[in-house]
C-alpha cells in the first residue's frame, strides 16, 4: 500500500523572501510512515483547493501569532508578529479540510489556526489576559525536547490513546492559547493552570491540535511519536476511524 502524502504548511521570511520549515516536522512524518510535502503560503485560493485534493492529510505547523481580527478582536500591544500570507492560506486549508473530512493535525500555531478557522478565539497573550488565576511559564527556556509542564488528558480522547495515561508532560513554546473553543471541538488536554493544550473533534476522521511541539520530543520520548502515527494511519485509511 502506498504511503499517504501529507501537506505541511510553511512559514514566510519577509527579510530573505524565502519559505521555511523546521526539518523536525517532516522528519516526524517520515518516521510515522507518511510522505511529507511542503505547502507554500500561496495567495491563490483556487490553488489551495486543488492542492488539498492531492493530499491525504494536512499538518499545520508552528509559527507566528494570528492577526487577532481573524477572531473578532483588535491586535493588542502584546500580540506578536503576524504573517498575513500564512493566516490566509492556513485558515483556508483548515476550513476546507474540515469541510472535506480530510485528516488535519495542528501543532502550536496550528491548533490556534484550526480553532480560529472553525469559529473559536485565542488569548492574544496568556500572561496579560489570564489574570483571574495564576498561570505557568509556557515559553520555556530549556532544550526544545525537554518537557517543562504537566498536562491532564481527558477520557475518550485520542490524546489518551497517544500517551496511555491521564497525566503526562510536554514542552511549551507559546504565549497564546485557545480561549473559546470552536463549535464541534472539545478539550482533550489542559495544563495545571487550565490553559488548553489539546483539542479534538469527534465528528471527523481526524481533526486535532496540540499546543506543544511533539516534533522536538519523539526522539527522547518514543511515546510522543504515537500522535504522528495515529494521524498518518488515519490519512492512509480515511473513513474507517
Count CA atoms closer than 13 A to 44's CA, side-chain side.
Answer: 6
Measure the CA dihedral 50/51/53/54, to 10°. 120
Whose CB is nearest to Mn ion?
A: 172
**Smallest separation (angstroms) from Mn ion to the CB of 139:** 9
Q: Which is nearer to Mn ion, 137 or 237 (CB)?
A: 137
Task: Write out the residues near Mn ion by the rule CB under 5 A.
Answer: 138, 172
Q: Which is nearer to Mn ion, 96 or 174 (CB)?
A: 174
Q: How far is it, in rounded angstroms, from Cα 60 to Cα 6?
A: 10
Instruction: Output the CA–CA distances (angstroms, integers) from residue 57 to 19, 36, 72, 132, 171, in the order listed.
Output: 20, 10, 28, 39, 25
**Smallest separation (angstroms) from Mn ion to the CB of 124:** 16
Q: Which residues are catalytic?
A: 108, 213, 215
Tell me the Ramachandran region of residue 233: left when phi exceeds 0, alpha when psi lies from -120 to 50, beta otherwise: alpha
**Smallest separation (angstroms) from Mn ion to the CB of 52:** 29
Q: Which is nearer to Mn ion, 108 or 201 (CB)?
A: 108
How far does Cα 228 stand from its chain's mean position? 12
Q: How far is it, in rounded angstroms, from Cα 10 to Cα 7?
A: 10
**Smallest separation (angstroms) from Mn ion to the CB of 193:** 9
Bridging pattern class, strands 5-9 and 57-60: parallel
Measure the CA dihedral 99/2/230/147, to 10°. -110
Q: Which is nearer to Mn ion, 49 or 192 (CB)?
A: 192
Amino acid at each position: 500500500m502506498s504511503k499517504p502524502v501529507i501537506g505541511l504548511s510553511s512559514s514566510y521570511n519577509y527579510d530573505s523572501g524565502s519559505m521555511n520549515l523546521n526539518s523536525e516536522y517532516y522528519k516526524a512524518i517520515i518516521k510515522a510512515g507518511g510522505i511529507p510535502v511542503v505547502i507554500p503560503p500561496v495567495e491563490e485560493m483556487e490553488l489551495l483547493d486543488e492542492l488539498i485534493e492531492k493530499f491525504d492529510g494536512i499538518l499545520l505547523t508552528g509559527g507566528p501569532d494570528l492577526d487577532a481580527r481573524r477572531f473578532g478582536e483588535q491586535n493588542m500591544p502584546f500580540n506578536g508578529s503576524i504573517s498575513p500570507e500564512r493566516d490566509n492560506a492556513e485558515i483556508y486549508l483548515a476550513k476546507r479540510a474540515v469541510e472535506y473530512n480530510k485528516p488535519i493535525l495542528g501543532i502550536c500555531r496550528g491548533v490556534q489556526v484550526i480553532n480560529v478557522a472553525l469559529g473559536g478565539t485565542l488569548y492574544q497573550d496568556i500572561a496579560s489576559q489570564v489574570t483571574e488565576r495564576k498561570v505557568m511559564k509556557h515559553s520555556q527556556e530549556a532544550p526544545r525536547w525537554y518537557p517543562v509542564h504537566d498536562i491532564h488528558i481527558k477520557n475518550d480522547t485520542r490524546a489518551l490513546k497517544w500517551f496511555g495515561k491521564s497525566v503526562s508532560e510536554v514542552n511549551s513554546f507559546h504565549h497564546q492559547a485557545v480561549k473559546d473553543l470552536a463549535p464541534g471541538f472539545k478539550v482533550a488536554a489542559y495544563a495545571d493552570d487550565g490553559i488548553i493544550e489539546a483539542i479534538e473533534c469527534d465528528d471527523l476522521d481526524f481533526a486535532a491540535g496540540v499546543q506543544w511541539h511533539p516534533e522536538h520530543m519523539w526522539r527522547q520520548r518514543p511515546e510522543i511519536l504515537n500522535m504522528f502515527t495515529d494521524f498518518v494511519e488515519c490519512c492512509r485509511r480515511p473513513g474507517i476511524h
